[in-house]
């Protein structure tokens, strides 16, 4: 295999077993296909989860896959039918290509398509390769004022755009976001960009909360530790009351966006949401938690789940970054060369408070 014929890739062979591997350069198989030379890739928690545990829900690692799904790059080859991009275009890649034909796709909820080919979700390869093939309509040209790092971070901004879309976040609302990791921070920033009146970020880490206050939140809350022997649900209800009192929330916020998956945050969020308000679950932790269903019922809460993105989220994300309304570069705390990909994943796995977003540079030309 010549150097021109190598497609250097970061491959997950089995649980906790990754390797850099030279694979054949993928050929275009469809008139709508494009081949992208990957420039930058952000690491998502789901990538790390597959590396460490080999599964997320029903998606189970049974054969080697390339990791990565938050990427930008340059189009180097296009199929005969492609019209929206041309060779040389810099693009952000939406990593999930649905079937386009099922009822979910036709209604615009293509995030629910059962036949979606999603990068780095078994059995499909991800984007941590020199070259990645995808469909042209899931590539979004980057404006001239956006660089490739910003292009890679369009994906998590699109996730936040979907979460706020599900929550129907509107001007003059009060929004509380549990979690000040990348997705929580971006939910706060998107809510503020949508002219929410008050946005409050919640995290157990003081340093992350402090960063949130400077990034997209109007105010932040670090909950006190639960007293020993105190019932967890009762304590979380008390914490919700503390927040209502501290931030003058009255009956509670209009919208609660939960981006941690932690049971304590889930319970507190439900107790916090005002009657008739909206609670959105986006964070995924344990598969089953104790949920205050009676409270949700008697308060007539609108409870929604959020997954991936739907129509308009990617273009919205590009616009939010290009306009300067969301400065995603501030989220990047660590940068790695492609050959250092395993070190990058290990850093994310450690979960240090100082690490927000880790990004990996692509294989050079």
Q: Read off the pLDDT of residues 147-172 as tens digits, 9 standing for 90 and up.
A: 999 999 999 999 999 999 999 999 99
Q: How much is the pTM? A: 0.96
**Burial class of residue 76 (count of CB atoms within 10 Å of its CB; 0-12, 13-18, 19+):** middle
d(CA 318, CA 112): 22
The answer, yes or no, to whether residue 1 has pLDDT greater than 70, is no
Q: What pLDDT was estimated at residue 4?
A: 53
Q: What pLDDT was estimated at residue 57?
A: 82
- Is the peptide bond preceding residue 213 cis, with omega within 30 degrees of 0? no
| Three-class SS state of 69 | coil
Structure tokens at 69: 């799904």
**Mean of the pLDDT values across residues 160-186?**
98
Confidence band (pLDDT; 50, 70, 90) for 190? very high
Domains and CATH numbers, the chain: 3-152+327-361 (3.90.180.10), 159-305 (3.40.50.720)
Closest-CA residue to 218 (of 239, 199, 204, 203): 199
At residue 155, φ and ψ (nearest 5 deg) are -60, -55
Distances (CA, A) of 67 to 75, 132, 145, 150, 153: 20, 12, 28, 20, 16
CB-CB neighbours of 68 under 10 Å: 29
Work out the angle at residue 42's Cα, subtended by the Cα atoms of residues 39 and 45, and round it to the nearest 5 degrees.
155
Query: Would you say how long the chain is, in residues?
Result: 365
Q: What pLDDT was estimated at residue 117?
A: 97
Q: Which residues 6+ apart lie within 8 Å of 138 measured at CB?
A: 93, 94, 95, 96, 97
The answer, yes or no, to whether residue 349 has pLDDT greater than 70, is yes
């Amino acid at each position: 295999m010549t150097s021109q014929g190598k497609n250097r890739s970061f491959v997950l062979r089995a649980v906790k077993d990754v390797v850099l591997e030279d694979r054949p350069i993928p050929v275009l198989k469809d008139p709508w296909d494009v081949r992208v030379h990957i420039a930058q890739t952000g690491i998502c928690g789901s990538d790390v989860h597959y590396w460490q545990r080999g599964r997320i829900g029903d998606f189970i690692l049974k054969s080697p896959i390339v990791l990565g799904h938050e990427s930008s790059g340059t189009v180097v080859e296009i199929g005969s039918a492609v019209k929206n991009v041309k060779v040389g275009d810099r693009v952000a890649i939406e990593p999930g290509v649905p079937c386009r034909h099922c009822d979910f796709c036709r209604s615009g909820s293509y995030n629910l398509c059962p036949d979606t080919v999603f990068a780095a979700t078994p059995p499909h390869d991800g984007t941590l390769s020199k070259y990645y093939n995808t469909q042209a309509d899931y590539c979004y040209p980057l404006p001239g004022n956006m660089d490739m790092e910003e292009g890679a971070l369009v994906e998590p901004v699109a996730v936040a755009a979907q979460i706020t879309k599900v929550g129907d976040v509107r001007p003059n609302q009060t929004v509380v976001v549990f979690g000040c990791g990348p997705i929580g921070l971006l939910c706060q920033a998107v809510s503020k960009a949508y002219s929410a009146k008050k946005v409050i970020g919640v995290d157990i880490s003081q340093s992350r909360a402090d960063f949130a206050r400077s990034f997209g939140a109007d105010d932040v809350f670090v909950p006190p530790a639960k007293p020993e022997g105190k019932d967890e649900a009762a304590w979380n209800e008390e914490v919700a009351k503390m927040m209502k009192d501290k931030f003058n929330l009255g009956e509670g916020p209009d919208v609660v966006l939960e981006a941690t998956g932690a049971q304590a945050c889930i319970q507190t969020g439900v107790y916090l949401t005002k009657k008739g308000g909206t609670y959105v679950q986006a964070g995924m932790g344990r598969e089953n938690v104790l949920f205050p269903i009676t409270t949700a019922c008697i308060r007539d809460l609108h409870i929604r789940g959020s997954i991936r993105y739907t129509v308009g989220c990617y273009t919205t994300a590009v616009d939010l970054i290009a306009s300067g309304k969301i400065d995603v570069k501030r989220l990047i705390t660590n940068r790695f060369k492609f050959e250092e990909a395993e070190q990058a994943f290990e850093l994310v796995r450690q979960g240090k408070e100082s690490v927000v977003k880790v990004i990996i540079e692509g294989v050079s030309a």
